[in-house]
Structure formats: structure tokens, C-alpha cells
Amino acid sequence: MFTTICMKDSRQLVQSDRKKILIATEQSPCKKIIITHGTYTIPDTAKFLQTNLQRKDQTIILTGSMIPLTGFSPSDAPFNLGFSFAKLPELSAGVYICMNGRIFTADETIKLLFEGRFASVFGEK
């Protein structure tokens, strides 16, 4: 099942966009969900979902790419999406971000823009 919520640069997302994502997630019959999202504000959306999601039976992964899929080569988008699919069955219910071959909780994720990667605020594991 696929649903399109909005097609925006994540820097242009506003609170009403995040609410639409929340509503679609809450109303989904699926318990395992992958959301593709721009990397600039992916931590903000993950934290918003974690804070506001009433359902506690869903495993949600947000993923994206540091290198855009179109117009740039090679993009990390296919790897991040594939890694998300591979990890989804292993994770317990909650909200996660999958980037750079790692899984982060919504609380810990930071984007290191100048390094071109995501990391944990708790340091490397």
C-alpha cells in the first residue's frame, strides 16, 4: 500500500504537513510503515510522530537520501530504502530514522550536514 502525502522539499514542510503524515499513519491498517522524507527536517518529523502518535502498535521508519535520487549519481536513496525494508521486521514498535546503514531512534538523530551523514547525539555505538 502506498500513499502520497506531499511532495515538497522538507525545508518547506509546515506543521500542517506533519499533521497530515500523522493522520495518514494513525489511520493506516499497516503496522509496519516506511516514510520517505527529505533529510533536512527528517528528525523533526520523526520527533513529531513519536510525540503525537496515539497508536503504539506501529513500527515506523523514516528514510531519505543525502544525495538526491534524480540528477545526481550515485544516490544513496536505493541503499537507504532497501536497508529500511531489511530492518523493518527486526524493530519493535516505535519511530526510527534509517540512514547511512544505521537505525536511529527519533530522540537521538542529528544530521551532520558538513559531514554528509546522520549520527546519534549519544555518540557512536
Q: Which range among 24-33, 68-77, 102-111 has the greatest average pLDDT? A: 24-33
Averaged over 9-19, what is the pLDDT?
89
Name which residue leads in pLDDT, 72 or 98. Answer: 98
Residue 92: which pLDDT band, with cuts at 50, 70 and 90?
very high
Choosing among 3.40.50.1170, 3.40.50.1220, 3.40.50.2020, 3.40.50.720, the CATH entry for 26-120 is 3.40.50.1170
Report percent pLDDT > 90 for the chain: 62
Q: Where are the domains of the chain?
A: 26-120
Least confident of 54-58, 67-71, 90-94, 119-123: 67-71
pLDDT exceeds cutoff 90 at 7: no
Q: Centre a 10 Å sphere on the Cβ of residue 73 and count the other Cβ atoms it contains.
A: 8
pLDDT of residue 13: 86
Averaged over 86-103, what is the pLDDT?
96
* b/e sequence 33-53, b meaning 16+ C-beta within 10 Å: bbbbbbbebbbbbbbbbeeeb
Averaged over 85-101, what is the pLDDT?
96
Averaged over 81-90, what is the pLDDT?
97
Whether residue 123 contacts residue 116, with contact meaning beta carbons closer than 8 Å, is answered with no
Averaged over 2-31, what is the pLDDT?
91
- What is the rounded distance in angstroms from the CA atom of residue 43 to the CA atom of residue 96? 9
| Amino acid occupying residue 104 | F
Name which residue leads in pLDDT, 87 or 66. Answer: 87
